[in-house]
Structure 1
Amino acid sequence: MGPLIINSLSFTKGGKEYANIAEVLPFNKRSYMHTIVDDVVKKVLLPNTEMKVFAKNVTMSTTEETNAIRRELALIRVKVNYQDIYENKFSIERGLEWFLRYH
């Protein structure tokens, strides 16, 4: 991806929209890495870079714990509002149901 500016990032679960993935997941927010992007905090992506919205080290987790994380993520839709370097605005939304592919 990139170059682009992410203006906002939102998460939908159960018909409700949230600005932060930590509001959606039932896990301790200190147990995983997550990114917040809102009207105050923007994110700039340079050419050929990526942004991780959620990351968790599961090497010490049981299979059931890992599957619980996958089940929760699969219920979420992510929406990204962004603009290119010419200020053209775009929006993309994607469901995370693909997390169940290894379930």
Structure 2
Amino acid sequence: MFTQFITNPNGNMQNRKLEEFFVITGFHDLLPLAVKRAKELAYGQIEMIEAICKLSDKLYQYPPTKNRTAWFKTVFEEKLREAKGDILSYKAKKKHLRNK
């Protein structure tokens, strides 16, 4: 999943894919907030895609009860950190297996 969203020069396809993930998960209205927070925290679109998928899983386990936007912001930032760790470990494992 990680390798199919490598940045391309014009960014069009990648932006469309990111938007599709937000639409599918029902958070299309919070895409601007997500992009802003990800940029502020220095995360890329690969991490954002992974984070929105993880956030969707959490949504079904622990849905927001009062403030959906605040819940989204908190959980999205948490899932961005998890996504970064998952991607780094995936790349390290791939590199390790290639060197064997």
TM-score, structure 2 normalization: 0.24
Higher relative contact order (CA 8 A, sep 6+): 1
Instruction: Answer 1 or 2: which has greater strand percent.
Output: 1
Comparing both structures, which one devotes a greater share of its residues to helix?
2
